Amino acid sequence: MRGKAPLALMEQLVMLLVFALSGALCLQAFVASDARSQRNQDRDRAVVLCQNAAEAVRHCRGDLSGAAALLDCPFDGKEKELSIGFEADWTRSESQDYAWLLRVEKLDSGVAYLGTALVELSSAEGERLFSIETAWQEVDGDAA
């Protein structure tokens, strides 16, 4: 009569296979969780930067050169647009090679004495991470 050793060995191999599969699934879950966490961290940073830029534009009543001075960034003199580039680690990029781009674009509100601007932050590939529209009241000398 044969012993039960081959059956015990087969049972251990099946349990090892189940353990390996569950380990692989857990590893995938951790990797996906890390990617989602990084994405949410980037979105949180984008929200704060967009809110800061929107408040600077509102404070300056749409004067982008004044907003650029408040945000401590260079202004290229464009009348209706301000752009700030960021590296992947969210430090300011001095070159045209950036991972994130914050853009402030003045819009026409269609209402007299009301100025509006769109503030958006997107990746270098053009995927929008966050955007917000801001408005301010213009006085006689400000109306464009």
For 12, residues 6+ apart whose C-beta sits below 8 A from its C-beta are none
pLDDT on residue 77? 77
CA dihedral for 109, 111, 115, 116, sign (positive or negative): negative
Q: State the pLDDT confidence band at 41, using cuts at 50, 70 and 90.
A: very high
Q: State the pLDDT confidence band at 142, using cuts at 50, 70 and 90.
A: low
Percent of the chain with pLDDT over 70: 95
Segments making up each domain of the chain, as ranges: 5-137
For 69, residues 6+ apart whose C-beta sits below 8 A from its C-beta are 75
pLDDT on residue 101? 94
Q: State the pLDDT confidence band at 1, using cuts at 50, 70 and 90.
A: low
